[in-house]
Amino acid sequence: MSTVRFLIADNSLALQTFAKNLISGYGFDANWVQIAPNPDAAMASAQKWTPHFLLTDCFSQHASSGLELVKAIQEMRPAVRWALMSDKKDETLANQARELGAMFQLVKPFTAPDIKAAMHKALTEWGRENKEVAARLQTKPVAPARNPNHFVSELRVVPVRQLMPAMTTLKVGDQVVYRGRRDTVRHVIFRKGELMVQLTEAQGIMPADKVRRV
């Protein structure tokens, strides 16, 4: 059983779901990966059990920001590992994040491979000091299943609990139908809290729920 606790703070249900499944895909217990839609909810969760790893949005429009959340959790657990997501590239914000020890910063919109690569690099670095994290990284991926109750990632297949919000799951290379025409997924992107896709033939970027996988 996993004893490493994670906290994901972001107002996007799609991103919450993706990140939780990405983390539990390494073998960490999904019950130990908590989610929160804003800094206040994240702080309330952290006060019940302090996370070892925090993935948070910057929440620039909220009364309390993501960086303030980080500082508060660092007071409870100085060695907490954390990473930041933001809606725009801001050098001041980036410098503040580095000073607070951020393992990485992602600027939205980012792709699924972007966050997978960033998390893997962060966990690899953390694993040099944490035996459980290192052991999880040695877990072999599980072959994708066709069960619709599973979320398919490039890492492994993880059962999604029924309490998790429904989410269209697509990956690069999937064959889909859009507006009656068959096409191929070229990019999978998170933008403004929504899962978006770019296709090979169709023009522009569209919400993932507008295409049907075949």
Same domain, 127 and 27: yes
What is the total count of domains within the chain?
Answer: 2
CA distance 94 to 118: 16
Residue-number span of the structural domain to which 199 is assigned: 175-213
- Quick check: is 168 in a domain? no
What digits encode the pLDDT tens for the residues 41-67? 999 999 998 999 999 999 987 777 999
Look over the chain and give the mean of its residue pLDDT values, rounded to a whole number: 82
In a domain, 75, yes or no: yes
> Which pLDDT belongs to residue 73?
96
pTM higher than the cut 0.75: no
Q: Say if 111 falls within a structural domain.
A: yes
Distance in angstroms (rounded) separating the CA atoms of residues 86 and 107: 5
Q: Is residue 201 part of a domain?
A: yes
What pLDDT is stored for residue 90 in this prediction? 86
More reliable by pLDDT, 184 or 89: 184
How far is 214 from 182, CA to CA, in rounded Å?
9
Flag whether pLDDT at 200 surpasses 60: yes
Query: Is 85 within the bounds of a domain?
Result: yes
Residue 164 belongs to a domain = no
Cβ-Cβ contacts under 8 Å for 26 (sequence gap 6 or more): 123, 136, 137, 139, 155, 156
Task: Say what the pLDDT of residue 192 is.
Answer: 57
Residue 169 lies in a domain: no
If asked whether residues 130 and 39 sit together in one domain, one would say yes
The answer to whether residue 147 is domain-embedded is yes
Identify the domain boundary among 116, 133, 159: 159
- Give the CATH number for residue 102: 3.40.50.2300
The last residue of a domain, from among 119, 135, 159: 159
